[in-house]
Structure 1
Amino acid sequence: MWTKQHKKRHYGRLVTPIMATAFFSYFGYHSLNGDLGLRATEVFEQRRVAREAELGDLVKVRKELERQVSLMSAGSLEKDMLDEKARYYLNVSRSDEIVIFK
């Protein structure tokens, strides 16, 4: 007859709670601080708002440039615009003129 006695250990009861705590801690931490976490989402949103403002400024500049190009196109060439651009880029003026650069 086999009569060896051994004491039961209760470590088996702790394995599941420890594993669950580790699992939730890991994913909880990365849901806040990870590359796609809540804090990173806030940073992305701030960048998006800043870039939308920058886009608005660039759209205004582009429209102004398109307007200037349309004034210099072959169909509606305005001599004043052509004269202004030529003087600005070639740095030429008459002696009786006053030049103010913006």
Structure 2
Amino acid sequence: MQLGKIIKRVMGATIPPALFIGLTAYFGWNVMRGEHGLHSYAAQLHLLDEARSAQKDASAEQEVWLRRVRGLKEGALDTDLLDERARSMQNLARQDEIVVPYGEHDHLY
């Protein structure tokens, strides 16, 4: 009987602290490496920085395209200049125009 009391006393003295240490280790591991832990938080912050950088790049590209589109509006284009440029790039001329030939190395633009 004496041996049973000793075993009960030892078990009663070791099981609660062992359970407490086990629970503490479990929650400590989840705080660091769990799904919502510190490592996941750092990874999410990194993804957030990448997303903000991509948003800045997209906004800058959008501004470039908006500026280009604004330049294509009817009031922004000079029709004579546009006609002249289109015909010079396509190497076309009307019958009533005077064409002045340039040398091979003389560029208009």
TM-score normalized by structure 2?
A: 0.62
Runs of 5+ in structure 2 lacking a partner?
93-106
Amino acid across the alignment from 1:29: W
How high is the sequence identity, in percent, across the aligned residues? 15
Match of 2:90 among 66, 76, 94: 94
Structure with the greater relative contact order (CA < 8 A, sep ≥ 6): 1 or 2?
1
Asked if 1:78 corresponds to 2:77, the answer is yes
RMSD: 2.5
TM-score normalized by structure 1?
A: 0.65
Asked if 1:66 corresponds to 2:66, the answer is yes
Q: Residue in 1 aligned with 2:25?
A: 25
Aligned length: 82
1:72 Cα deviation from its structure 2 partner: 2.4
Runs of 5+ in structure 1 lacking a partner?
88-92
1:6 Cα deviation from its structure 2 partner: 4.5
From the two aligned structures, give the one with the greater helix fraction: 2
Q: Which has the larger radius of gyration?
A: 2
Asked if 1:13 corresponds to 2:13, the answer is yes
